[in-house]
Amino acid sequence: MATRKGKSTSASKTVQKEAAEVPKPPRGYSTDAFLMYGRQKTRHWDYQHHVVPPLSASSTFRLESHQRGEAGFCGFADPELTRPTKPHIFIYERLDEPVRAMLEERLAAAEGAEMGVCFASGMAAISAAVAHRLKAGDEVVAHPTLYGCTYSLFTNWLPRYGVKVRYQDLTQAPSRLRIGKKTRIVYCETPANPTLQIVDMEAIAARIAKANEGRSQEEKCEFVVDNTFATPACQRPLEHGVDVVCGSLTKGLSGFGTDMGGYVATSESDESSLLVFRKDFGSPLSPTPAWRILNFGLPTLSLRVKQAQASAFELADYLHEHPKVARVQYPGHPASKGYETARRQMHDFHGEFAPGTLIYFEVKGRNDKEAAARADQLVDTIGKKAYVITLAVSLGQIRTLIERPGGMTHSMLPEEVAQTCGIGAGGVRLAVGIENPDDIRRDLEKALKSLD
């Protein structure tokens, strides 16, 4: 899917394609170091004399000649060329832009991917990750527990374009996963929003690999995983046989609740198609949020996750023992479903178990109606009286946030789908921040007490 249709210019012919490689830190240095320093000079940018790379905001770029403009357009997203061209030619912000490009390289390194492409939001990234590959007649198989807007995208929009979406529980034995001739994508979140179900990525990837035997590249089925909840600081799906990772930058990766964005990280063979899709559907990440995520979000990612995760361990134990709580799901708690799989696939950049910063729990009630009313009362008490827990959707930021998925983020799910997803009437999602865990517990205790 090149930008030029069979048109070959002398400018493009002079550029040689190079083998793709995963961007990574210099030998012996950690991924954390790369997330802070990246590369100061590439063919794409030269910020060797800056400590903090500048916020280069320019919606269009100066061209000293029409030849430069032509070469830039011809080089953009051309699968026969390697991005960046030599030297890289910037044309227009929606096509390519240096701050966003720096962020893309660091995200690729974080996920262990050959390349990354950033979008205006997590939903823009998810839409691109699936839609750039699909055509009418294709099928997507998705695990039903999904972020509400992803569920809406799959249920309300993809079918309009002739794409069939079939839901199948991917936490069941992989042998039960049906991959038909037209199945092009198997999609899931793990941990899944909001119930933190864990999908065994290696097992599903092995099942897909078997189904792909003998298929042409076009016919192959890809495994796409939304890594928003874990972030690459806790899990790198590509290490477990996943083909494409996508997710929101709005959450843990930006970390401070100030910016919106999304990303796709995968192999270089998908780069051209994703860039052209982003150009034509018009969903690039703007340089200002990209700059903040680059300079504030990524360098502090591991530190923030470490602090919030240590609190999440403690708070999961506390909630587990609490008499007013019926059920707790935290991938780091041995009593939680999927714990063994989480132990295998969720690790930080240094190999330590990293089950993340989110907890799902259900408030007790004699029946669903009472459980729902008590969960409402709990979050309302927090909304009115808590000091460090905020009643708000979103997650992964420095502040602890709480919400009731059944009535908020997942309210668009039909009742029976919510049940299949395991979203209980009394379900509450707690996104742990970096506050002192005693302060978070204090607010939870007060709110749970109010349920008498």
Ligand X SMILES: Cc1ncc(COP(=O)(O)O)c(C=O)c1O
Query: Contact positions toward ligand X, by CB under 6 A?
Result: 121-123, 126, 147, 189, 193, 226, 228-229, 248, 250, 260, 262
Backbone angles phi, psi at 357, to 5 degrees: -120, 10
Helices (H), 136-194: 148-152
Q: Which residue is nearest to ligand X (CB)?
A: 122
| In the complex, least distance from residue 197 CB atom to ligand X, rounded to whole angstroms | 12
Q: In the complex with ligand X, which residue's Cβ is closer, 122 or 422? A: 122
Amino acid of residue 78: D
| In the complex, least distance from residue 190 CB atom to ligand X, rounded to whole angstroms | 10
| In the complex, least distance from residue 248 CB atom to ligand X, rounded to whole angstroms | 3
On the 0-12 / 13-18 / 19+ scale of CB atoms within 10 A, 364 is middle
Q: In the complex with ligand X, which residue's Cβ is closer, 121 or 400? A: 121
User: Cα separation of 386 and 382, whole Å?
Assistant: 5
| In the complex, least distance from residue 271 CB atom to ligand X, rounded to whole angstroms | 21
Helices (H), 227-326: 271-281, 287-292, 298-321
Question: Which residue is it, tokens 């899931």?
Answer: 188
**What Å distances lie between residue 145 and 58, 250, 339, 433, CA to CA?**
40, 20, 17, 24
User: Cα separation of 382 and 366, whole Å?
Assistant: 22
Backbone angles phi, psi at 133, to 5 degrees: -105, -15
**What Å distances lie between residue 361 and 200, 317, 343, CA to CA?**
22, 11, 20
| In the complex, least distance from residue 219 CB atom to ligand X, rounded to whole angstroms | 28
List, in sequence order, every beta strand (DSSP E) within 114-273. 115-119, 139-142, 164-167, 183-189, 222-226, 244-248, 262-266
The alpha-carbon radius of gyration of the chain (Å, integer) is 22
Q: In the complex with ligand X, which residue's Cβ is closer, 250 or 300? A: 250
| In the complex, least distance from residue 15 CB atom to ligand X, rounded to whole angstroms | 34
Q: In the complex with ligand X, which residue's Cβ is closer, 262 or 299? A: 262
Token output for 148: 């509400």
| In the complex, least distance from residue 78 CB atom to ligand X, rounded to whole angstroms | 29
Question: Which residue is it, tokens 């049906």?
Answer: 178
Q: In the complex with ligand X, which residue's Cβ is closer, 224 or 275? A: 224
**HEC string of 158-169?**
HHHHCCEEEECC
Q: In the complex with ligand X, which residue's Cβ is closer, 189 or 222? A: 189
| In the complex, least distance from residue 9 CB atom to ligand X, rounded to whole angstroms | 38
49 Cβ neighbours under 8 A, 6+ residues apart: none
Q: In the complex with ligand X, which residue's Cβ is closer, 371 or 430? A: 430
